[in-house]
Amino acid sequence: MPLTDAQCRAAKPAAKVQKLSDGRGLFLQVTPGGSKLWRMNYRWQAKQRTAAFGSYPDVSLATARLKAAELKDKMAAGIDPAAKEGTAAGAAPVKPFKDAAREWFNAREAQWVSGYAARIWSRLDADVFPKIGAKDVAAITPAEVLALLRDVENRNALEMAKRLRQTMSAIFRFSVANGWASSDPAAPLAGAMKSAPRQQHRAALKEDQLPDFLKALQTYSGDRATALGLKIIAHTFVRTAELRLATWDELDGDTWRIAAEKMKMRKEHIVPLSPQVQAMFAELKDLAGGSPWVLPGQSGHKPVSENTLIYGLYRLGYHSRASVHGFRSTASTILNESGLWRADAIERQLAHVPANEVRSAYNAALYLEERRRMMCWYSDLLDKKESQSVNKKSDTDLTDLLS
């Protein structure tokens, strides 16, 4: 049935683009951002096209119908509706790709940590904007997108090219949703990308290797704070940056509450602290003096550098044998294989957030009581592993004496 003006006024934005049909190809497109755009699908010389007639209520229902009728009259007379100079009835409004990218970036930036956001924009600024930044987002072709991606691949930056295609595809989809473009020219290129070499996973210790590691950590000859930092990572399996950027005001008794802006997924995270970890933090507090940082650098005014903990592993003799991030994999494997804890509780403690989880519904305290028991259990397990290394050494010393 044809639209009424009341229906046009009452149309509300939803999570996805809505199309309210008036018949004969004319429809009102309602974007998630609240825009109401007049569009008309038609075919010219066997090709599907979409005409743009402006936005409602600036262009009324009656005027949109009149423009639709004019377009059909042109077609009947053999005139290309998009051939008129200027902004023709069949021409989509011009939106430079860089402007579309900026609006997409602004809409997403709050979800990202600052470093990740900076990398996204830097890639676009270096490899995309110089080539197609000034071009209308609706006029960009798959061949143009592939050409700039090939330039990136030719630098042997295969993984970057893959991520750049994904970013561009997201921008094109955002543009389609907002009525600036009718398709995503980056989407069909996924199969045309060169394959990157098989990625090497970050080295992680297996459970039977933990006693030797913890033994080595007991006799670490470097900075005591670095040794404690590595041990806290092993017990809590947080990411390096989450400990490196930690401040004392985040700690409250047996709870470590990490602010969203410090987390990879921009969501607050709670780490229950076992008695063992609380003792480690207490020792670090003494070492930190009056610094607000849990792991202060030499000046005390900034945290330690990004490489401090990984260099600590190298000093222990674990270069290429273990990584700081690898303790997350170690913990995940042990906790899942124990059969004692729900997978959802383990994933939440790893700060893994389902992609479809609604931001407003995220609950940092989900499964918290189970996670408290789990973290204490895990610290107890590591204590046992550490004791095994001591007992093993004692048994070896006794054997040497008796031999």
- Which active-site residues does the annotation give? 239, 264, 325, 328, 352, 362
User: H helices of 35-141, where?
Assistant: 61-76, 97-108, 114-127, 129-132
Query: What values do phi and psi take at 263, rounded to 5?
Result: -95, 150
| 206: number of Cβ within 10 Å | 10
Measured between alpha carbons, how far apart are the two ends of the chain, in Å? 98
Please report, for residues 2, 231, 309, 378, the alpha-carbon distance to residue 270 in angstroms, rounded to integers and kept in the order given: 54, 18, 22, 16
Most distant CA atoms of the chain, gap in Å: 108
CA distance 403 to 386: 26
Q: Output DSSP code: residue 197.
A: P
CA distance 385 to 403: 27
CA distance 126 to 101: 14
For CA atoms 298, 300, 302, 307, give the dihedral sign: positive
For CA atoms 206, 207, 209, 214, give the dihedral sign: positive
CA distance 17 to 30: 6
For residue 366, which of 275, 238, 268 has the smallest C-alpha distance?
Answer: 268
Phi-psi region of 63 (alpha: psi -120 to 50; beta: other; left: phi over 0): alpha
Please report, for residues 100, 117, 141, 170, the alpha-carbon distance to residue 103 in angstroms, rounded to integers and kept in the order given: 5, 13, 21, 12
> Residue 256 in contact with residue 270, Cβ under 8 Å?
yes
Phi-psi region of 300 (alpha: psi -120 to 50; beta: other; left: phi over 0): left
